[in-house]
Amino acid sequence: GVVGGACSDVKQDVFEVNKFNKRSKLMEILREDANGTIVFVETKRGADFLASFLSETEFPTTSIHGDRLQSQREQALRDFRTGKMKVLIATSVAARGLDIKNVKHVVNFDLPNNIADYVHRIGRTGRVGNNGRATSFFDPDHDQALAADLVNTLAGSDQTVPDFLRQLSGG
Amino acid sequence: SYCSTSTMTIIEGNYREVRDEYPDIDAEVRAILLSHAQNGITISSIKDEYRKQTGNTFPLHDNVTDFLLTIPYVTAECSHTGKRIFNLKPNKENSHLLEMVLNQKQRSDYSS
């Protein structure tokens, strides 16, 4: 792909999802295949809420965020890598600097507020010749400012741009 | 007596209706308690957090303590200041998370 851009061997999907429909949409996606999925969320408590809910209902899930000790982050990462935990919920800040590569599926439950972070996140999937997958929940009440950059990034990496996103970006 | 029996019946009936309408409420409440397990949480904060996480108003207004104590693994205590504080015991699905929360950096406030 373009240097500094998103790789075209990552299949990128963007769905229009309102804040309180995100949890059921995530579960729908995980039911297809939960293994090796990292889910990015905005808040520490949101990460733990979601990890607890998923673990108790359908998918063994662990979490990483800024209140965790280094040893706890490493343990969570280990549980994810070995497959003991199918899903890892992470806040952006906590995931920065952690060696999380070759993830099967990156889900942006909450989108970052800038496109560089988006490209960085989806760069964690689809390495070493494997096809990766990135799915993002676009909340029109929250993510409007990212629309135009997201359209450019999708178009620049040979991805289908959803109509709702093209309209929101004003093009 | 007739009076207390009929009260009991009404309360149990309400909880069944709540659980029919909100089938995930037990797991949602436990998830809230888990994310606040370091310090525990009061009923008014549980209600705030429930709205923040689900978008819905907490479906019970009266007898909330009784309702919460029908949810498996939920605990309640009267703190030294007299506040009623709720918390959680681990189960086999969430113990890895609860253990991390209890041993993570201590939060100095109640913010998210």
Best of A48, A73, A91 to substitute, by most chain B Cβ atoms within 10 angstroms, is: A48
Cβ-defined contact of B35 to A76 (cutoff 8 Å): no
* A46 lies within 8 A of chain B by CB: yes
pLDDT band at B104 (very low <50, low <70, confident <90, very high): very high
Strand, coil or helix: A16: strand
pLDDT band at A3 (very low <50, low <70, confident <90, very high): very low
Residues of A in contact with B94 (CB under 8 A): 52, 55-56
Best of A49, A77, A141, A142 to substitute, by most chain B Cβ atoms within 10 angstroms, is: A49
Nearest chain A residue to B112 by CA distance is A45
Residue B107, pLDDT score = 72
Tell me: pLDDT of A8 over 80: no
Q: What is the DSSP letter of B73?
A: T
Q: How many CB atoms are located within 10 Å of the residue B38 CB?
A: 15
Residue B106, pLDDT score = 87
What is the average pLDDT across A18-36?
A: 97
Residue A128, pLDDT score = 63
Residue A141 or A98, more confident: A141
Count Cβ–Cβ pairs < 8 Å, chain A vs chain B: 69
* B102 lies within 8 A of chain A by CB: no
Tell me: pLDDT of A132 over 80: yes
Residue A171, pLDDT score = 60
DSSP H or E stretch at residue B48: helix B43-54
pLDDT band at A93 (very low <50, low <70, confident <90, very high): confident
Residue B8, pLDDT score = 52
Residue A96, pLDDT score = 75
With residues binned 3-state (H G I as helix, E B as strand, rest as coil), the percentages for chain A, rounded to 5, are: 40, 20, 40
* pLDDT tens by residue, A114-124: 999 999 999 88
Residues in contact with B77: Cβ distance below 8 Å, sequence separation at least 6, in sequence order: B40, B84, B85, B87
What is the average pLDDT across A91-116?
A: 87
Cβ-defined contact of A69 to B105 (cutoff 8 Å): yes
* A153 lies within 8 A of chain B by CB: no
* pLDDT tens by residue, B31-50: 999 999 999 999 999 999 99
DSSP H or E stretch at residue B75: strand B74-78
Portion of chain A with pLDDT greater than 90, in percent: 81
Asked if B50 contacts B28 with a C-beta cutoff of 8 angstroms, the reply is yes
pLDDT band at B1 (very low <50, low <70, confident <90, very high): very low
Tell me: pLDDT of A86 over 60: yes
Whole-prediction pTM: 0.90
Tell me: pLDDT of A151 over 50: yes
pLDDT band at A98 (very low <50, low <70, confident <90, very high): confident
pLDDT band at B111 (very low <50, low <70, confident <90, very high): very low
Residues of A in contact with B30 (CB under 8 A): 52, 56
For the ranges A27-31, A96-100, B80-84, the lowest mean pLDDT is seen at A96-100
